[in-house]
Amino acid sequence: MSKRLTDIICPFCGTLCDDIEIDVSDDGKQILEVYNACAIGSEKFLHVQSPDRITRPRMKQEDGSWNEITYDEAAKYTAKVLCDAKKPLMYGWSSTSCEAQSIGHMIGEQVGGVLDNTATVCHGSTLIAMQDVGIPSCTLGEVKNRADRIIFWGCNPAHAHPRHMSRYSIYSRGYFTGKGSKSRKIIVVDPRPTDSASLADEYIQVEQGRDYELLDAFRAALKGSPLPKMIAGVPSEKIYELVEILKQGRFVVIFFGMGVTHSLGKNHNIDMAIALTSDLNNYTKASIIAMRGHYNVTGSGQVLGWQFGFPFCVDLSRGFARYNPGETSSNDLLMRGEVDGCLVIGSDPGSHFPIGSVKKINAIPTVCVDPHMTPTAAISKCHVPVALVGIEVGGSCYRMDNVPIDSRKVVDPPEGMLTDAEFLDLVLKEVNKIKGDAK
């Protein structure tokens, strides 16, 4: 016998699909089948019962082998690393709940750490642009119900957010978009003709790294200004044609991704995309939304924002919150050799930071809190596996459009395994003991 759980949240990408259905065994211990999720989401759910899963904390030995330890020992070691360091880096936070993040932030305050999340290698430049020029945005529900002009700029949802198009942006039928994809015009701008581009009405092959120029040209065309024949590899007639399509729409939404945030220009590319959105509001309604990756990177920005006023790279080492991307951000701190202890949680910089920064993490005492074996775990001194948020424990998460959603527990974690929040609680107690103000 099995029972069907409904309205489960998928804890992989920022789309945070909330319609997943899962068959679990009668005793609630095993996932039997996952429905509605995309291939990545299904794999995430199913992988929790992989037979080779690591279920206990471990310390790396001299010879590179691992020695199993208890959660208490791991918490003591983590607290010592953080307290001994002059400027510990506490990085990640994007694949865990807002509740765990807030405990981590208390530790950060106690040890004078730098709290940075994965936006630092992702949409950090978007956050800078938002602070610089503001952002006209909306929720994905509004996109589904109202948007009839969709632009995907430098993002490839077919691969990175596989159900975004069917749930919100292309195929979904909403209140004013009853004909689904037939009621929408889709434009894709990307240096590669991606699988998302193949679903679009219009595909524009921009020269890599020249998004700023092209966005600027869209703004000029919108104002009826003359343009040179070719801009960033795109003929000007095409730009005028697209601008007409946008003006005729009832509601334009621009979705943008790493194509703009990772290319030179970075936050300035997004300034220009936001300015284009704001200009479009002179003709019709327009909004812009960042395609956030990790399912709760948005939540980390929110919690840091409430608590310290800044959404990422918050430096607490002077006893108050400082924020200066380029100075207080993980890769810059690592490359300058400014951090001397590291806690990684809910992320994998070993895979996703440039190797120059990874070498620096390897050289300092690092604790990696992660359910899986990853390159970060491999270069850490201590690896603490934990229960998976959104599968083995519930918690709050924020979708890419800043809508908070409660994730739900589906099955029990392996016997004796702690959650992120429980482990961080232990670390906080140890830190308080060391700092001498245990309550």
Partner 1 sequence: MTKININLISGRTIQQGVSMEAGKEKENYMTSCGLIELDQADIHQLGIMKNTNVRVTSKFGSVIVKAILATQGPHPGLGWIPMGPWANMLVDSNTYSTGTPTFKGTAVTVEPAENEHVLSSIDLVLKSCNDV
Pick what 193 binds: ligand SF4, partner 1, none; C-beta below 5 to 8 Å, kind-dependent: partner 1
3-state secondary structure 140-195: HHHHHHHCCEEEEECCCHHHHCCCHHHHHHCCCCCCCCCCHHHHCEEEEECCCCCC
Q: Encoding tokens for residue 99?
A: 């509740």
Buried b (16+ CB within 10 A) or exposed e, 194-223: bebbebbeebbebeebbbbbbbbbbbbbbe
Per CB under 8 A, the list member of 74, 114, 147, 158 interacting with partner 1 is 158
| Nearest distance, CB of residue 142 and partner 1, angstroms | 25
What is the pairing mode between strands 382-384 and 366-369? parallel
195 near partner 1, judged by CB under 8 A = yes
Helices (H), 282-329: 297-308
Residue of 8, 13, 188, 386 that binds ligand SF4 (CB under 6 A): 13
Instruction: For the chain, give the number of residues.
Output: 439
Return the range that interacts with partner 1 (CB under 8 A); candidates 34-42, 105-113, 279-287, 421-429. 34-42
Residue entry with tokens 């961080």: 424
Contact partner, 208, from ligand SF4, partner 1, none, Cβ < 5-8 Å per class: partner 1
H helical segments located in 263-413: 267-280, 297-308, 330-335, 349-352, 355-363, 375-379
383 touches 57 (CB < 8 A): yes
Stretch that binds partner 1, among 18-26, 133-141, 366-374, 396-404 (CB under 8 A): 366-374
Which of 113, 325, 346, 385 is the binder for partner 1 (CB under 8 A)?
A: 325
Encode 289-321: b = buried (16+ Cβ within 10 Å), e = exposed: bbbbbbbbbbbbbbbbeebbebbbbbbbbeeeb
Chosen residue from 5, 40, 133, 275 binding ligand SF4 by CB under 6 A: 40
Q: Could you say whether residue 408 binds ligand SF4 (CB under 6 A)?
A: no
Nearest approach, Cβ of 46 to ligand SF4 (angstroms)? 13
Q: Are the C-beta atoms of 381 and 120 separated by less than 8 Å?
A: no
Which one of ligand SF4, partner 1, none interacts with residue 16, CB within 5 to 8 A by kind?
A: ligand SF4
Q: Are strands 89-92 and 149-153 parallel, antiparallel or unpaired?
A: unpaired
Q: Any contact of residue 322 with partner 1 (CB under 8 A)? A: no
Name the minimum Å distance from CB 69 to partner 1: 21
Of 108, 162, 350, 365, the one binding ligand SF4 (CB under 6 A) is: 162
Q: 2 by DSSP, 3-state: which?
A: strand
DSSP letters along 89-154, please? EEEE-TTS-HHHHHHHHHHHHHHT-EEEEGGGGTTHHHHHHHHHH------HHHHHHH--EEEEES
**Packing angle of the helix pair 267-280, 211-222 (nearest 10 deg):** 20
Tell the smallest beta-carbon distance from residue 32 to ligand SF4 (Å).
18
Residue 301 beta carbon to partner 1: minimum distance, rounded to whole angstroms: 13
Q: Scanning the structure block, which residue is given the tokens 């953080």? A: 82
Binding-site member from 19, 148, 279, 332 for partner 1 (CB under 8 A): 332
Among partner 1, ligand SF4, none, what does residue 350 contact (CB within 5–8 Å per kind)? partner 1
Question: If binding is defined by CB under 8 A, does position 221 make contact with partner 1?
Answer: no
Identify the residue among 8, 16, 274, 342 touching ligand SF4 (CB under 6 A).
Answer: 16
Closest of 437, 428, 432 to residue 103, by C-alpha: 428
If one asks whether residue 293 binds ligand SF4 (CB under 6 A), the answer comes out as no
Best CA proximity match to 261, nearest among 215, 209, 334, 196: 209
Binding partner of residue 17 among ligand SF4, partner 1, none, CB cut-off 5 to 8 Å per kind:
ligand SF4
Among 105, 123, 163, 408, binds ligand SF4 (CB under 6 A): 163
Among 9, 24, 121, 391, binds partner 1 (CB under 8 A): 121
Does residue number 165 form part of the binding site for ligand SF4 (CB under 6 A)? Answer: no
Among 6, 25, 50, 282, binds partner 1 (CB under 8 A): 50
Tell which phi-psi region holds residue 2, choosing left (phi > 0), alpha (psi between -120 and 50) or beta.
Answer: beta
DSSP state of 393: B
Q: Which residues bind partner 1 (CB under 8 A)?
A: 12-13, 38-40, 43-44, 47, 50, 52, 116, 120-122, 124-125, 128, 156, 158-160, 162, 191-195, 197, 205, 208-209, 257-259, 261-264, 266-267, 293, 312-313, 325-327, 329-332, 335, 348, 350-359, 362-363, 372-375, 378-379
Note the residues at the interface with ligand SF4 (CB under 6 A).
10, 12-13, 15-17, 37-38, 40-41, 161-163
